[in-house]
Structure 1
Amino acid sequence: MKFRLKFTHGPHNVHVHVPDLKPDTIYARFSSEFPDAFTPTSTTSATSTLRWLDSDGDWIEIRRDDKDCEQILLQVMDRSGLVHIQSGFISSVKYEKVMDSFDHLSRTVVKLPPISNVLIVTKPDPKLAKLTKELSVWLIETFPGVTLFVDKKLQNRSAFKYQEILDQNPSWKDRLQFWTKDCQTCKDKQIHLAVTLGGDGTVLYTAWMFQQRVPPIVAFHLGSLGFLTNFCFDNYRPTISNIIRGEGMNLNIRMRLQCSVYKFKEVPTIYSAAQQQSDQLLTAERHYAHATSTKSVKISTSYSATAESSDDSDDDGDESRRQLVELRQKAEIMRRVKEMDSKRGTEVMDLGVCHEQGHTLITRVPSPSPRLDCVSGIGIGVGGPGGYEVPKPTDTWQVLNEVTIDRGSNAGMLQIELFVDGNHVTTILADGLVIATATGSTAYSLSIGGSLIHPDKNSVIISPIAPHSLTARPMIIPGTKHLRVCVPASSRTTAWASFDGRHRQELDKGDSVMITASRYPAATICRRDQSTDWFTGLTQVLNWNSRVLQKPLESHL
């Protein structure tokens, strides 16, 4: 089995074949093709690294310690049949300079591109419909080059008075359009700005509508809890005017999570077949030993339950030997396939922890897909490239707050396995698990004891829900890590997963969720700057650390 790679180093390109897609294998082969690739030159102190090209044209670094890298590259190989690898350089920049650049980036004042398409998102509430109409009429009158998109549900609402708007100016019909739940009418035109009227839930819904690129969001608070909504609707005219006219502003780039659900697919399992072949071989050997001693052969197999006899004992002996050899060949093939599937590097740990019954969950080197061999009749791998079937997610979502995995309506607690970069971290016995972004750290994660994370930090917080162990506490890890949560075969109950409170679905034994940093963050417009807005929200909205102060000692004297 060979995988085809394209190597690029400077102006040179070469196509090679490798036996697997492990990072060490790729680095070793690249070094053999370009010996100078990892040798620092006298003019630079940079160290070389390798990157692969994804379907969006982005170069992703290949880390040697990332054990999920092989699975990701296999999916790319399954789609295109080729993986493009390029050499890159990591400069030895001082830590202080990196931190200064990052701090400068979070405080940078930016100007948005010209805005011509504006989306307004709000709930179909009579009061909000009236405010949406007020905002829509003002936008159309004030900015002739702006096309407006409002909720389709408002078109026939009496509070919105759509016909009254058209009577005021019939030419506005083309500039006032309606979007549906899936934003089908918006796909033909790129949305340059999203305006939300409501609370935090409206902002989450707006980000959910755009599962890829999210337009900048300016959020006006009209709800009961507005941690993400920084602007007061009473001042919407100067706020939106400054944005559309290109005034500088700060943006809060909020990290999102890409969550992919993998369902366990029951296939003709090699492990069961191997056990069956082993039993057949043992039975055949016993019958053959008895037949050779009595000169009469009677072999029973699972393929035939009838007894065969012959007057010619030599012919029967030859037939029994042929069947015995065939069964031994089948058993040997099954043994080799099972050994191959159990010796795939780090996947051995997964099989021992999550799949004690031999179930395959997410494999970095996927399990062989079955086919009948023309000689032995045993299933061997002939799936995707190189004869392997690449697992594909059933659903993939981009979430802004958190992904929640809980026990649902089950009475007992949930058992789930947590992996980070392909390494098993722990087995969690709890009511569930919440994996949240910095934005979601002030939501569900906070209510179960999770820490607050400043939005400058692209980190992920893992918070167990009512854990069975007193030492199970929330932990914060870098957002660059690949997380995988799976329901093992030994779990007593199934699990339920929800993504920003939506698309709730059951996870059966063997199912899992892969969680990585999304390449499509959500940008919200700051009222002042990122840090000021965040701390203001903590004190004014969450009343963080609010209490009555102690009186000075002199007051008691």
Structure 2
Amino acid sequence: SLNQKPLYQSRTRLRVAQKDGIDSAVPTHTMFAYSVDFPHRHIQDPASQRLTWSKPPLNVLVIRKIRDETLLEPFKELCRFLVEEKHLMVYVEKKVVDDGSLMTDDSFSAIRNQLCTFREGYDDISDCIDLIICLGGDGTLLYASSLFQGSVPPVMAFHLGSLGFLAPFKFESFKTEVDKVFEGNAAIILRSRLKVKVVKGMFQRNEQLFSTQENGIAPHNHINNEAGKITLQLQVLNEVVVDRGPSSYLSDVDLYLDGRLITSVQGDGVIVSTPTGSTAYAGAAGASMIHPNVPAIMVTPICPHSLSFRPIVVPAGVELMITLSPDARNTAWVSFDGRKRQEIQHGDSIKITTSCFPVPSICCHDLVYDWFDSLAQCLHWNIRKKQTRLTDASDSSETDN
């Protein structure tokens, strides 16, 4: 078993149940690499990851898709259930509670007065939430992830949006599903995130070393000076996108891996995504779809001006860095899960690696079935009209011909 103490107190832990009766506890706020000697099995079964509660959950954060009137009734039903029947402390955003439809609903006023409110960017609730429940589409889960730049509580996402690839639960049976999660032993998947730093100014590339090998990986480190000011640090669940922005010129950025220049990307841009993000923008740009349980980082060019530039998968532990090429005719723009878009100038750099704070996403069935079901239902993966079976008559006619 793993005797690893959590960094701070939490009511949540992830139990990896072994078939031999040995349990290994892994706190959800960090990731540990460990191995257990089993003579008959060498690879851990992903389906063995289970969520248990060391203490009953007390504080629940409810994230609702805003500007969608169809979610008002589900939101009120869920809050009423959590407050009146489960006797929990429910946290919601202040702008959600201040919605005009909720303010004028007298039947909901008693529940509304018991809700705890917070404001994004002003109030820190990261240490007091035991469970997150999302109502909406994939964007609500991405938004919930952005609220927790460190440890993330388990997330239960109900599909009430347009796509719902990351939301496996149906709201029609929300009471039953929530009760199952509170009872424990729910299947869970740790969705890795990207740790991103934006460093402004002071980056230079050694052009003399680069000229020694025009194609392929250069033999030495090309970084002359990477001192600068870190202006932004983020945890990203889907992808980091670097593109040409409003410019009519090709974007021209250099891609480094662990300090070595790998290649220059000339085209509309480049996407650096997690396995979760491989089915989002990266998938639309031609990347392979990676199961979220695979530790990897996907690098996908956007409309590259090269017939041989295919998407690549690199190990999760490497550090990628993206800078403007010295010959670039224009600046580039970067966004993080579609948010906080900003311009990248010459001398700026973007450093990306896998974060040690994943998003524990609760599964409806299990992490394998849920993923393939989402591929089929949301993306219509490998859906085609089935070829009909040949009849005996057609078999004989083809033989005669």
TM-score class, shorter: 0.7 to 0.9
Instruction: For 2:50 and 2:165, locate their aligned partners in 1 and report how far apart those are by CA, in whole Å.
Output: 22
Alignment correspondent of 2:143: 205
Aligned with 1:186: secondary structure?
coil
Instruction: For 1:143 and 1:111, locate their aligned partners in 2 and report how far apart those are by CA, in whole Å.
Output: 18
Q: Residue 262 and residue 470 in structure 1: after superposition, are their counterparts in 2 closer, same or farther (change >3 A)?
A: same
CA deviations on 1:320-374 (whole Å, 9 max, x unpaired) are xxxxxxxxxxxxxxxxxxxxxx9xxxx8579747xxxxxxxx997857xxxxxxx
Instruction: For 1:554 and 1:350, locate their aligned partners in 2 and report how far apart those are by CA, in whole Å.
Output: 70
Alignment correspondent of 1:462: 299
Alignment correspondent of 1:261: 198
Q: Residue 438 and residue 555 in structure 1: after superposition, are their counterparts in 2 closer, same or farther (change >3 A)?
A: farther
Kept after mapping to 2: 8 A contact 1:431/1:467: yes
Instruction: For 1:163 and 1:116, locate their aligned partners in 2 and report how far apart those are by CA, in whole Å.
Output: 26
AA matched with 2:198: V
Q: What's the CA shift for 1:130?
A: 2.6
Paired residues, what number? 355
Alignment correspondent of 1:186: 125
Alignment correspondent of 1:115: 57
Kept after mapping to 2: 8 A contact 1:106/1:456: no
Instruction: For 2:31 and 2:167, locate their aligned partners in 1 and report how far apart those are by CA, in whole Å.
Output: 34
- Extract unaligned runs of 5+ from structure 2: 1-29, 212-220, 395-401
What CA RMSD, in Å, does the superposition of the two structures yield over aligned residues? 3.0
Alignment correspondent of 1:177: 116
Residue of 407, 413, 416 corresponding to 2:250? 413
Q: Residue 121 and residue 168 in structure 1: after superposition, are their counterparts in 2 closer, same or farther (change >3 A)?
A: closer
Alignment correspondent of 1:138: 81
Aligned with 1:496: secondary structure?
strand
Kept after mapping to 1: 8 A contact 2:103/2:109: no
Alignment correspondent of 1:537: 374
Alignment correspondent of 2:264: 427
Q: What's the CA shift for 1:129?
A: 2.3
Kept after mapping to 2: 8 A contact 1:441/1:450: yes
Kept after mapping to 1: 8 A contact 2:334/2:341: yes
| Equivalent residues in 2 for 1:142-541, closer than 5 Å | 142-144=85-87, 146-161=88-103, 164=106, 168=110, 173=113, 175-182=114-121, 184=123, 186-187=125-126, 190-244=128-182, 246-265=183-202, 348=206, 352=210, 366=225, 390-541=227-378
Instruction: For 1:168 and 1:106, locate their aligned partners in 2 and report how far apart those are by CA, in whole Å.
Output: 41
Aligned with 2:195: secondary structure?
strand
Instruction: For 1:410 and 1:165, locate their aligned partners in 2 and report how far apart those are by CA, in whole Å.
Output: 53
Kept after mapping to 2: 8 A contact 1:350/1:424: no
Instruction: For 2:318 and 2:371, locate their aligned partners in 1 and report how far apart those are by CA, in whole Å.
Output: 25
Kept after mapping to 1: 8 A contact 2:255/2:265: yes
Q: Residue 222 and residue 396 in structure 1: after superposition, are their counterparts in 2 closer, same or farther (change >3 A)?
A: same
AA matched with 1:140: V
AA matched with 2:99: R
Alignment correspondent of 1:74: none
Aligned with 1:213: secondary structure?
coil
CA deviations on 1:399-458 (whole Å, 9 max, x unpaired) are 000000000111011111111111111111111000111100100001010001011201
Q: What's the CA shift for 1:106?
A: 4.1
AA matched with 1:447: A
Alignment correspondent of 2:70: 127
Kept after mapping to 2: 8 A contact 1:111/1:249: yes
Aligned with 1:468: secondary structure?
coil
Aligned with 2:372: secondary structure?
helix
Kept after mapping to 1: 8 A contact 2:222/2:260: no
Q: What's the CA shift for 1:264?
A: 1.3
| Equivalent residues in 2 for 1:17-36, closer than 5 Å | none
Q: Residue 204 and residue 59 in structure 1: after superposition, are their counterparts in 2 closer, same or farther (change >3 A)?
A: closer
Q: Residue 185 and residue 515 in structure 1: after superposition, are their counterparts in 2 closer, same or farther (change >3 A)?
A: closer
Q: Residue 350 and residue 228 in structure 1: after superposition, are their counterparts in 2 closer, same or farther (change >3 A)?
A: farther
AA matched with 1:433: V
Q: Residue 486 and residue 365 in structure 1: after superposition, are their counterparts in 2 closer, same or farther (change >3 A)?
A: closer
CA deviations on 1:493-524 (whole Å, 9 max, x unpaired) are 11100000001011111211100011111111
Kept after mapping to 1: 8 A contact 2:193/2:355: yes
Instruction: For 1:404 and 1:203, locate their aligned partners in 2 and report how far apart those are by CA, in whole Å.
Output: 19
More helix by share: 1
Kept after mapping to 1: 8 A contact 2:201/2:228: no
Instruction: For 1:403 and 1:494, locate their aligned partners in 2 and report how far apart those are by CA, in whole Å.
Output: 16
Q: What's the CA shift for 1:232?
A: 0.4
Kept after mapping to 1: 8 A contact 2:240/2:334: yes
Instruction: For 2:132 and 2:228, locate their aligned partners in 1 and report how far apart those are by CA, in whole Å.
Output: 36
Kept after mapping to 1: 8 A contact 2:210/2:222: no
Alignment correspondent of 1:86: none
